[in-house]
Amino acid sequence: MWRRDDDIQTMLRESAENFATMAHDLQRVRRCRVSAEGHEPAVWTEMAALGWTGAMLPEQFGGAGLGLAPALTLAEIWGRHLVSEPLIASSVMAATVLSQSSSDRALALAAAIAEGGATASLAYQEELGVLYPSPPKTIATREAGAVVLSGRKIFVPCWSANTHLLVTARLDDQTVVIAIDPQVAEAHVGESRRMTDGSISVDLEFRSAAISADDVILMGGAASQAVDLAIARGMLALSAQMEGLCVALLKMTGDYVLQRVQFGQPLGSFQSIRHSLANLYVQVELAGAAWRSAASALEDGPLDEARGAISSAKARASDTALAVAKAAIQYHGAFGYTEEADVGLYVNCALRLASWLGNAPAHRALALRQHQQRQASHA
C-alpha cells in the first residue's frame, strides 16, 4: 500500500473509525439532513472530548496541536462515513484563522471550539465562484470606540443559530477579521439554504452593525494571509474527505455488483463493469496522491508555492467524487435511484464537497495560471 500514516495518523484513524462504527451510522446522517443545525451538537461535544474539534489548534489555544496532516486523516474518515459535524468549517478553516491571532477574544473562541464544542464559520465570500478572495467589499468604520460593519457575505458554510462568525472586512484600508457571537441581532440572516450534504449555508447582511473594537482579531497582511491559508487548508481537507467518500462508495458499489445476479451471474463478472470500476479506482488513486503531495508542499513551503498543487488536487477529487457518485447510481440500477438507498447520501454529499471552495474547472484554471506564472518568472 503506497498510502502511509505516521503514528499519530494511525492512532487518529483507528479512534475515528471506531467512533464511526460505534456512535455513527447512516440513519444519523439522515437525521442530520433535516435537523436545524445540519449536525448533532451533542455529538460535536463528544468529539471535542476526543480532541478532534481542536485537533489543529495549538496547545496554548486549548487544542491538541496536531498540525495539518492528522486533521486531513480525520477529514478522510469524515468522507468515508459521511460524518455531518462541521470539521472543515470549524476545526480546519476557522481554527486556522483563530490560531493566527494573539487576541484574548480569539483565544477564548478557540478554547470554546476545542474544549466545549462551539462551532465557528469563516464568512469571507462575497461573490460566487471565487477561490481566494480579493480585498473584502464589506466595510468597517470606527465610530465612538466601536466598529460599524456594513456589507454582505454569501454561502457562509455550516451555519446554525449557534455558530460563531469570523467575518472579513475592510477597516482603515486594511483587511480585518472580526469575531461575532451567535445570534447577534446585527447580523441579519438573508437567504438560508439547505445544502445537498445536509449542512446549512446562509447569506448574511450587516447594516451598520455596531461591534466592539475588541472583536477585531486580525488586521492587515496577517488577516488576509490567515484567510488564504484557511481556505487552502479547507480545500485540502475537502479533497481528503472526497477521497474517503470515493473509497467507501466504490467499495459499496463493488460489494453490490458482486451480490446482484443478472443473466445468471453477478454483475461484477461483466468486464464492462469491472473495467469501469477499475478506471474509477485509478482516478481515486490520483486523487489520493494529489492531495497528499499538495499537503506536503503546503507544510514544507509558503502557500504561494503550493497553490497550484492544492488546486490540482481539489479539481481531481471533485471530478472523481462526482464520477464515482454517478457510477454508483448506475451500477445499483433502479435501486440506486431511490431515496431509501444509501447511495444517494453519498452522491448528495459529493455534490456539495465538489462545489464548495471551488469546482474542478475553476481549480484547473488556477493550477494552470500558477504554472504559467512560475514559467514566466523562470524565463
| Residues near other proteins (CB under 8 A) | 1-4, 250, 254, 257-258, 265-266, 268-269, 271, 274-275, 277-279, 281-282, 285-290, 292-294, 308-309, 312-313, 315-316, 361, 364-365, 367-368, 371
- Which amino acid is present at 19? F
Q: Which is nearer to other proteins, 274 or 326 (CB)?
A: 274
Write down the least CB distance from residue 183 to other proteins, Å. 43
Write down the least CB distance from residue 311 to other proteins, Å. 8
Write down the least CB distance from residue 356 to other proteins, Å. 19
Write down the least CB distance from residue 331 to other proteins, Å. 11
Q: Which is nearer to other proteins, 27 or 271 (CB)?
A: 271
Write down the least CB distance from residue 237 to other proteins, Å. 17
The Cα 149–Cα 208 span in angstroms is 5
Cell of 362: 475553476
Q: Which is nearer to other proteins, 195 or 309 (CB)?
A: 309
Q: Which is nearer to other proteins, 196 or 311 (CB)?
A: 311
Write down the least CB distance from residue 376 to other proteins, Å. 11
Could you tell me how far CA 176 lies from the centroid of its own chain? Answer: 22
Convert 113-133 to b/e letters by CB count within 10 Å (16 or more is b): bbbebbbbbbbbbbeeeebbb
Cell of 329: 447510481
Q: Which is nearer to other proteins, 33 or 314 (CB)?
A: 314
Q: Under a CB-based contact definition with an 8 Å cutoff, are residues 164 and 118 in contact? A: yes
Q: Which is nearer to other proteins, 187 or 290 (CB)?
A: 290
The Cα 114–Cα 119 span in angstroms is 9
Give the DSSP letter of residue 96: H
Helix axes 360-378, 303-331, angle to 10 degrees: 150
Tally the residues of the chain. 379
